[in-house]
């Protein structure tokens, strides 16, 4: 089976929604990493975010078949309807 890696970067407030969505879609082997997104301007909401220029984000990493990665990406975007979500896909080779 040809596998692809998928990383989903999102605002922390969407974590539970994404977990529920992925589990409902039958994905039960994925990984979560807390991370920060750095930026400036309108992206930052609170005074603390504006001072530090960072916002709390999370990242899920999962490995899916090459055949399903496109439809899963579209389904995630449709579920969240957010501009701040970033989905990255890449080739992986299991050792």
Please state, for a pLDDT cut of 70, what percent of the chain lies above it: 83
Q: What is the pTM of this model?
A: 0.82
The answer as to whether 16 is a domain residue is yes
Residue for token digits 């055949």? 67
Mean pLDDT of 68-93: 90
Per-residue pLDDT, 9 = 95
**Tally of structural domains, the chain:** 1
The answer as to whether 2 is a domain residue is no
The answer as to whether 19 is a domain residue is yes
Q: Which structural domain range is residue 38 located in?
A: 8-53+66-82
């Amino acid at each position: 089976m040809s596998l692809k890696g998928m990383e989903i970067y999102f605002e922390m407030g969407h974590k539970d929604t994404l977990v529920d969505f992925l589990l409902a879609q039958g994905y039960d082997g994925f990984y979560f990493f807390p991370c920060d997104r750095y930026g400036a301007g309108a992206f930052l909401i609170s005074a603390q975010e504006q001072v530090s220029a960072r916002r709390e984000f999370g990242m899920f990493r999962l490995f899916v078949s090459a055949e399903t990665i496109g439809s899963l990406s579209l389904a995630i975007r449709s579920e969240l309807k957010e501009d701040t979500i970033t989905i990255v896909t890449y080739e992986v080779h299991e050792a």
